Amino acid sequence: MADLSFDRETREYVLAVVRRIVRCRALAEDVTQESLLLAYAHREAFRGDAHPRTWLYRIATNTALGRLRCERRFAARITLDGARHEVPDATEPVDERLCRSRRVLAVRNAVDALPPRYRDVLAMRRDHSEPETARRLGLSLINVKVIAHRARAKVRAAMA
């Protein structure tokens, strides 16, 4: 069996992998800890076909992506006026909620900075299909796709 020691260098490697995915230091540290615990608990499953870091990379990536999927789950409550409000899970740690709220605020600011045409297409795409968006905005389907793509690219660039 290959050496599966989790020295400082290995922990930093896993943290770097996770941090690229979750983009929040506090959350990345938690996911790194969880990944290393999973790797240790399942160390007998490591066959030794590849370098141990390859195996750790896959565990860290899967754990981080799983955490992001869980993070996106919100309990929704409907008020009497029919408005939908998203309420964060009360069991979620405060630092994770803070990271998410900062990301949400950054995305909102990036979307608000977009030209009106881009904002309109993104807003319409949130609730409608591309053909319906094109019809409602009086644009061609290809134009809606291009504008939505460019708008998302500008938001990603603003977030980077």
What pLDDT digit, counting tens, does each position of 42-76 carry? 888 888 888 888 889 999 999 998 888 776 653 33
Question: The pTM is what?
Answer: 0.46
- Alpha carbons within 13 angstroms on the beta-carbon side of residue 64 total 24
Identify the pLDDT of residue 87.
54
What is the three-class DSSP state of 77?
strand
Q: Which burial class, exposed, middle or buried, applies to 103 when counting CB atoms under 10 A from its CB (0-12, 13-18, 19+)?
A: middle
Phi first, then psi: give them for residue 77, nearest 5 degrees: -125, 140
pLDDT of residue 147: 92
CA dihedral 134, 140, 142, 146 (to 10 degrees): -70
Q: CA triplet 82, 85, 89: central angle to 5 degrees?
A: 140
| Domains of the chain, CATH where assigned | 8-71 (1.10.1740.10), 92-159 (1.10.10.10)
The set of residues, in sequence order, having a beta carbon less than 8 Å from that of 44 and lying 6+ positions away, is: none
Residue closest to 30 by CA, chosen among 71, 73, 89, 88: 71
> Token pair for residue 40?
């240790």
CA distance 88 to 75: 6
pLDDT, greater one: 89 or 115: 115
Three-state DSSP class for 97? helix
The length of the chain in residues reads 160
- State the Cα–Cα distance between residues 149 and 118, nearest whole angstrom: 9
pLDDT band at 144 (very low <50, low <70, confident <90, very high): very high
Question: What is residue 56's three-state secondary structure?
Answer: helix
